[in-house]
Structure formats: C-alpha cells, structure tokens
Amino acid sequence: MTRCARFTHFVVGNILGCYVCISVIVYGALLFANHVEIQATQKHHVDQTVALLIQEMKDSSVNSLDVGNLSLDSSGLFFEVSRQLNHEGVKGVFLQTADHSTPIFDHINKETSALDTWIYPFSVREQPVRLCVYVSNDKVWRMFVHRLLWYMGLLFIQTAVIWLLLHCFVVRGLGKAVSGIQQELSQMNLDDPKRLYGNTKFLHFLEYQWILNGMNKIIHGLAASRRELSELNSQLEEKVAQKTQSLEEKNMTLVQLNKKLYTLANTDSLTQVYNRTRFDLLFREHVAMAEHKKTPLSLLLIDLDNFKRINDQFGHQVGDHVLYVTAKLLESVVMNDGIVARWGGEEFAVLLPHIAIQRAQHIAETLRQRLEMASFDDPAIQVTMSVGASQLLLGENGMSLLKRTDAAMYQAKNMGRNQVIVDAGPDEKGVS
C-alpha cells in the first residue's frame, strides 16, 4: 500500500468512525425514547383494561366479595378483560380487602421474571378495596431487543453504503489529488524548487488551492533555509580550514622549537655533541642495562694535551675550532658503536656499550693516531690526546667506573701525554 493509499484510507476511516459514533448516539436516543413510549403505552392499556374491569365488577351481580370464584380465566362475564390483560403482560390480578386477598387472574409461576406491582383502589358497596396488578416487563424488553437489532442492522447497511460511496468518490478523488502532488514532490529539486500545481481537476476547489499555496510556501521556505545553511556551512568549512592551517603552522613551529630546545638541552653548542648533562643520563641507563643483561660496557675519557697553550698562542677562536674538529673526528671513528660527549673544557667522554676493553683500547688508539695526524688551518698547530680506558667490572657501579677511567686518563698525562692507559681492574693495568 502506497503512502497516498494509506492517507486516503485514513481519511475515509475517520469519516466512517465519526459517522458511526454519531449514529450510535442518535439511535441510542431513539431507542431510549421508544422504550419509554412502549412502557407508557403498556401502562395506558393496562389502566384502561383495569378501569373496565372495575366498572364491570361494580355493575356485576356479585353478591359478596368473599366468594371463592372471581376468576377471569373462565368464560363468561370477564373473558374479554382477561384476554386483554394477558396480552399486555399482566401475570396476576388480586382483589384485596382489609382481611383477605382473592386471586382473580393468576398466571404467576417460578419462571416468571421480576414483576412490577400496580395498585388500583376503589370501593364496592361502600367497602374500600383495591386491585393489585402484577405486570411483567418481558414484552417491553422483547420489543426493545427487536428494535435494537433493527437499528443495528440499519446502521450496518448505512455504514456499508457510505463506505462504498466514500470509496468510489472520496478515495479515488482524494487519491488522484494527493498522487499528483506526491509525484511533483518526488521530482522536485530543493536547490531550484518549482511551484506545485497539483491536479488541475481540483483547482476550482478553494480548499485545494489553500493546501497547494501552503505547501508551496513551506517548500520555498525550506529551499531558502537550505541555501542559507549551505552558505553557513561553506563559511564554517573555510574558517575551519584556516584554523587548521594556522594550527598546523603553529604545530610545525612548536615541533621545530621543541627540537631546538632538545638540542640546546642535550647538545654542546660548540662541538655539537652531547653535553655533560645528557651524557650523565645515558651513562646511568647503560650502566644499569649492562648490570641487568651482563653485557660489557667500556668508557673512554679523553683530554687534549697542552690545550691552554693553543688558546694562549693562537687565540680562543682557534681553540674552539680545534675542539669542534676533535669532536667530529671522534664521531667519525666511533660512529654508531658508542656515544660521544663533551665532558668539560678540553675533555671528552666516549661510552662504548657492548664493547669489551680490548676493542675499546683499539678504538682509543685509533682516535689518538687520527688526532695526531690531523691538520688544521695553521700548520704549526698540532694536537694530541691522553686517553684513559676501562671496562665495567662485575658488581661495580657507575661512579667507580668513572673514577678508574679518570685516574687512567691522568696517569696517561703524567706519563708523558699522547698515549692510552687502560685500567683493566684492581689487579692489572695496561699501557699503550
């Protein structure tokens, strides 16, 4: 079922529902009025018949009210009265005096439903008496149920006829009107909306025109809102792009500044190798790692010989250049096998993880020879180094390793400079 069909059936269902509700109220009122009228008619007929009975009793030749045979069921004087009372639903008539009650008409049995009692007082031979009439409502209710069924059948037939009429005229007509609008809406482009014209057969209905005009206003309002939203979205995207670009530029600047800060914090500004602070941190980490993994760790401490004489003779700028060239020479020899750092002044430190003392001694000797053969701008400049070398011993801490290496370096200086002294441990020492 399409949306259009669902809409038309919804409209027809509401119309039928309203009609059925109104019809039930109207038929209920008519049924109640008819029930009241039937009760009044029954009362009127019984009153007339009882009045005739009373008159006939007064005019009859009854000698005494104490006689036992005043029955209306036998043929004779009261036969017609009996027939009329029975027709109106009277189940019993009793003549009551002050001391006894005489049945005149008695059809009361166990199957008889609840009875209404109607009292008719009168006098016979100046003696007050009354007739008690017991009336059943079965006839009234049978007529009520009959009329109810008749109304229900009439309502069913009327509803069916109205449904057929609505289906033939309203559903089809409304379906055509709505389907035309639905087809136009399905083909509409909100970027450039066209006016809705609907079904031309219904344009002469003012209500149909109102609906179309209202829908056109809504559609054009939606289109305008969509254009405004698109413009706002474009502006927002542009601002976001600008902010993003600005943030990226600032982030790149921040990264570069962080790199510079890292370099300044960890690198010696003159020689461009690690400074003492960074070396101390790396030294502690590698000592802990060597102790944990039981791997060799060697340390070289280097001091440039007679460096003060170079500063005094050639100037501090030349001295700075010598320090820079020395640092680069150390890096070129050690490469990825170790860590080079400026220890302070004209002293350098070289940390050699995973390298035993024999290879460390060879590296130290290579460094010493390369620096001795290095050339500078002034041929009169000749630089040598004194090197102390040692390896971390089992159970030794970092402070002890530094002291032994530093002592070996000073021993090399004291023994004539330009040489490598190896501190192999507390039992033996090697000289190169």
Closest to 287 in 3D by CA, of 228, 221, 351, 337: 351
| Burial tier of 162 (Cβ tally within 10 Å: 0-12, 13-18, 19+) | middle
Query: Could you give the angle at which helices 276-293 and 206-266 cross, rounded to 10 degrees?
Result: 90
Order of strands across the sheet that contains 420-423 = 339-344, 347-353, 297-304, 385-391, 420-423, 429-431
Alpha helices in 267-356 (DSSP H): 276-293, 307-314, 316-334
Q: What is the C-alpha separation between 201 and 173, in angstroms, rounded?
A: 10
Task: Show the beta-strand stretches assigned E in 145-277.
Answer: none
**Nearest 5 degrees, angle CA 367-CA 371-CA 374?**
140
Q: Which of 228, 238, 249, 346 is catalytic?
A: 346
346 is catalytic: yes
Please report, for residues 219, 230, 273, 306, 374, the alpha-carbon distance to residue 369 in angstroms, rounded to integers and kept in the order given: 91, 75, 21, 17, 9
**Nearest 5 degrees, angle CA 338-CA 340-CA 345?**
155
CB atoms within 10 A of CB 81: 20
Write the DSSP symbol of residue 204: T
187 token code pair: 């083909």
DSSP secondary structure string for all residues of 32-43 = HHHHHHHHHHHH
420 token code pair: 């490598």
Closest to 348 in 3D by CA, of 400, 401, 409: 409
Closest to 271 in 3D by CA, of 336, 349, 388, 381: 349
Give the residue numbers annotated as catalytic, written as ranges.
346
